[in-house]
């Protein structure tokens, strides 16, 4: 789809969707951008897909940096079809694959880093996915861990296995979850140690205009974590990034990020007490001027055609921040 066609289609769609002209902000959430498609990570965009997604944003929307957008939203000066691009966790391909495309289309972005996995670390979900990828047997028996017997006969079966395991263990206490993951991966072949960024890659993103925000140290589900530990996770990630970058870190993203299930009001208050100006959740919708700046909604784009991608983003402006309705 060419730039003129994108611009024309966006103008037509906006007239059909009058809510899109109101002071509302769509914040997109990504995790990875893959060099090529991966049967164990089918929802992650490839370089090719991310490229046309950013082309759509550049020609049909108004991409802003997160902090600029939040300030404009509060001031009532937000442009039509304002959108922000954010990444969670701190994967190395944010720097190697996503950054060149962001620079190509001059798209501002923010990356929220879980500092405990920098320099060779690996998140628990990736440990499970990579272990399941590498098992050579046709099934995986985890009944001794209170789980099930999972078939591994093909890629769809392996993907279902990983998803079911992660769903079962995600909300365990962090130390219990780590113990389960350790048992699952104990017999696996060598697991990758280059999935997450190095300190140098984080600095390179920041030096190239990408905003770096905090995302805890070890990515715990805050609602499943003791209050003292939850506060430490939030505070230490901020401190570690500020020491690494020698600049303030004012934005935070809640791990997983669903209000009530993954974090609670006390965690929102911790974030404010620790000096953050903005925090991002993962309830779907568009932020409005009345939205809580410490609980801004985000939207996950998944469509694989340009028209559907653009239309779904436009429709998101009509979906007012659900927390405003509940309040």
Bridging pattern class, strands 62-63 and 82-89: parallel
Q: Could you read off the pLDDT of 4-54 as tens digits, one per residue?
A: 656 666 665 566 555 545 789 999 999 999 999 999 999 999 999 999 999
- Contact (Cβ atoms closer than 8 angstroms) between residue 213 and residue 110: yes
Residue 188 has a pLDDT of 81
Residue 172 has a pLDDT of 85
Residue 49, token pair as written in the block: 């897909």
- The answer to whether the predicted template modeling score (pTM) of the entire model surpasses 0.85 is yes
Residue 173: how many CB atoms within 10 A of its CB?
Answer: 14
Residue 15 has a pLDDT of 60
Say which residue the tokens 């628990």 belong to: 124
Residue 72 has a pLDDT of 96
The sign of the CA dihedral 77, 79, 81, 86 is negative
Residues of the chain where predicted confidence (pLDDT) is lower than 50: 20, 327
Residues whose CB falls within 8 Å of the CB of residue 47, separated by 6 or more in sequence, listed in order: 33, 34, 35, 36, 97, 101
> Domains in the chain, please, with CATH?
3-120+193-326 (3.20.20.370), 124-185 (no CATH)
Say which residue the tokens 């079809």 belong to: 81
Q: CB-based burial of residue 301 (10 Å sphere; 0-12 exposed, 13-18 middle, 19+ buried)?
A: buried
Residues whose CB falls within 8 Å of the CB of residue 145, separated by 6 or more in sequence, listed in order: 180, 183, 184
Residue 142, token pair as written in the block: 């985890």
Residue 291 has a pLDDT of 96
β-bridge mates for residue 28, sequence order? 85, 299
Residue 175 has a pLDDT of 84
């Amino acid at each position: 789809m060419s730039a003129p066609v994108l611009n024309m289609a966006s103008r037509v769609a906006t007239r059909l969707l009058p809510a899109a002209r109101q002071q509302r902000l769509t914040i997109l959430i990504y995790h990875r951008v893959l060099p090529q498609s991966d049967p164990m990570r089918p929802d992650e965009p490839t370089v090719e897909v991310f490229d046309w997604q950013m082309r759509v944003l550049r020609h049909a929307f108004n991409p802003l940096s997160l902090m600029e957008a939040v300030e404009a939203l509060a001031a009532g000066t937000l442009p039509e079809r304002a959108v922000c691009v954010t990444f969670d966790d701190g994967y190395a391909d944010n720097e190697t694959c996503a950054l060149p495309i962001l620079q190509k289309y001059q798209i501002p972005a923010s990356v929220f880093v879980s500092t405990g996995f920098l320099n060779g670390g690996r998140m628990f979900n990736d440990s499970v996915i990579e272990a399941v990828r590498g098992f050579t047997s046709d099934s995986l028996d985890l009944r001794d861990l209170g789980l099930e017997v999972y078939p591994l006969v093909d890629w769809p079966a392996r993907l279902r296995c990983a998803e079911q395991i992660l769903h079962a263990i995600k909300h365990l206490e962090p130390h219990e979850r780590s113990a389960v993951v350790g048992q699952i991966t104990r017999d696996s072949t060598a697991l990758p140690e280059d999935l997450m960024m190095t300190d140098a890659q984080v600095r390179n993103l920041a030096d190239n205009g990408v905003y770096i925000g905090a995302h805890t140290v070890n990515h715990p589900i805050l609602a499943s974590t003791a209050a003292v530990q939850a506060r430490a996770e939030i505070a230490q990630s901020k401190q570690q990034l500020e020491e690494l970058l020698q600049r303030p870190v004012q934005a935070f993203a809640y791990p997983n990020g669903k209000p009530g299930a993954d974090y609670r009001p006390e965690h929102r208050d911790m974030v404010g007490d620790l000096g953050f100006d903005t925090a991002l959740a993962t309830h779907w919708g568009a932020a409005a001027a009345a939205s809580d700046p410490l609980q801004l909604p985000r939207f996950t784009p998944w469509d694989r055609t340009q028209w559907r991608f653009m239309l779904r983003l436009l429709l998101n402006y009509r979906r007012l921040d659900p927390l405003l309705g509940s309040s």
